[in-house]
Copies of this chain bind each other. A is one copy, B any other.
Amino acid sequence: MRIQVILRVIGILVMVFSLSLIPPIIVSLIYQDDTLGAFASALAINLLSGFLIWFPVRNQRADLKIRDGFVVTVLFWFVLGLSGSVPFLISTDPVLTFTDALFESISALTTTGATIITHIDGLPPSILFYRQQLQWLGGMGIIVLAVAIMPMLGIGGMQLYRAETPGPVKDSKLTPRIAETAKALWYIYASLTTVCAVGYWLAGMTLFDAICHSFSTVAIGGFSTHDASIGYYNSVAIEVVCSLFMFISAINFGLHFYAWRNQSVLHYFKDPEARFFIFILFCTVTLTTLGLTLTATYDWDLAFRYAVFESISIATTAGFGTSDFSAWPHFLPFLLIVTSFAGGCASSTGGGMKVMRILLILKQGVREIQRLVHPSAVIPIKVGGKAIPERVVSAVWGFFSAYLIVYVILMIGLMATGIDQVTAWSAVAATLNNLGPGLGDVSANFAGINDPAKWMLCFSMLLGRLEVFTLLVLFTPMFWQR
């Protein structure tokens, strides 16, 4: 372990992060919302903290190895979670405890979008902007993590995507590849955000709202500047823009990268994961529309409109809302939240287990049936015509079961603090899948639950974002040997 090199990276990270407080300061100056001091202090605190971490180890330069990658990745999210909470702690509106400030910050950075704030419409514009920007930065981090780092670490079968990332593959050095990949992804991510913001603006949002919502849409974060979320606008045009960009952002950014380099579009339609994702969405929209119509919750046209938006919003794990879906007949919110376990495609800003893994699991299920009927046949699992290595398949299984075991343990933990089963079930789904909204006591926001539960949910959000194993591996003695 190259602790000092890692500390140097983290120090730089915190200093760079402190610069992200400049845009909220500008917003505060424009709107004169009395939050200038909070952001200026937060900037100073973060800059100084970063400097103090960095200065003693500033000359420690060495390439990081793959094993260091786990530590850097986990520290990245923990430290930024802490840094990001500073403005919430200092600001006088909202007034948040340390637990709440950290919860809000981690929820933003992991693009979960669960909030403990109960009066979003009344917040100062700079705080609103900051929350949205935090999601956007988190989304950027996730893309780099998902496209460049996870495949190298080999988390849950993601080594499958190694060949698709740019740069030399055989190399175990992290730094050069991340830098190269990150730059390309940055262009794609920023372009998508810009087009999304223009789309929202043309669809009728104010410029401020358009920019803010473009941040949380492309990040699949789900934070909004209004308590009623996208439902505030009651505009089909805005819902269409939102749905479109949630969908695009939930597609593998490796495909966007390919499109950007090769000026191609056809490859999207050939991608088995994207096709399966569309299939999932199609089924969910159909079932939800039928469910809402047959139970006479809405007429079919309104049912279809809500079904399309909520299905895409929940299945991509964005978590925006146009209707209080927790008040629908119970099997519909349950069904929708189940789709969030699939979540977005691999290497996207979406959460959940990722569509590719669910696809592999279903293919394996079919293979097991084939094996029962033809016990002696050798049947490889193929995706898009290519056989998947058994090692990747077993890593996906490992991921799937670890995910579910963690899920059940977190649920029991929450229920032990006195939370009811439906709330606990949905709260873990909302956080582990980085979805955002839940049911029961957390259907509007997470303010009402107890502090130990909030800490568990913070951990759950990080576990989900770090694909469980990146974080779990640090708790094993094996990792720290040698």
Contacts and interface: CB of A to CB of B under 8 A. Distances in A.
Interface of A: 66-67, 70, 153-156, 291, 329-331, 334-335, 338, 361, 364-365, 367-373, 375, 390, 393-395, 397-402, 404-405, 408, 411-412, 415-416, 418, 420-422, 425, 469, 472-473, 476, 478-479
Contact of A479 (B330, B365, B373, B411): B373
Contacts of A361: 401
24 contacts: A66-B375, A70-B372, A153-B372, A154-B375, A156-B368, A330-B421, A334-B412, A334-B421, A365-B401, A365-B402, A368-B394, A368-B395, A368-B402, A368-B469, A369-B473, A369-B476, A371-B395, A372-B469, A373-B476, A373-B478, A390-B390, A394-B397, A397-B401, A421-B425
A372 B469 CA distance: 9
Contacts of A420: 330
Number of copies: 2
B397 A364 contact: yes
Contacts of A478: 369-370, 373
Contacts of A70: 372
Nearest to A152: B375
Given A397-B364, A421-B422, A372 B155 contact: yes
Nearest to A172: B375
A154 to B, nearest CB: 6
Nearest to A157: B368
Nearest to A66: B375
A330 B154 contact: no
Given A331-B416, A338-B412, 8 more contacts: A156-B368, A361-B401, A364-B401, A368-B398, A369-B476, A390-B394, A400-B400, A400-B401
A367 B394 CA distance: 10
Contacts of A364: 394, 397-398, 401
A415 B369 contact: no
A371 B476 CA distance: 12
A373 B473 contact: yes
Which of A369, A372, A405, A478 is most buried by chain B, counting CB atoms within 10 A of its CB? A372
A59 B367 CA distance: 37
A177 to B, nearest CB: 16
A418 B418 CA distance: 26
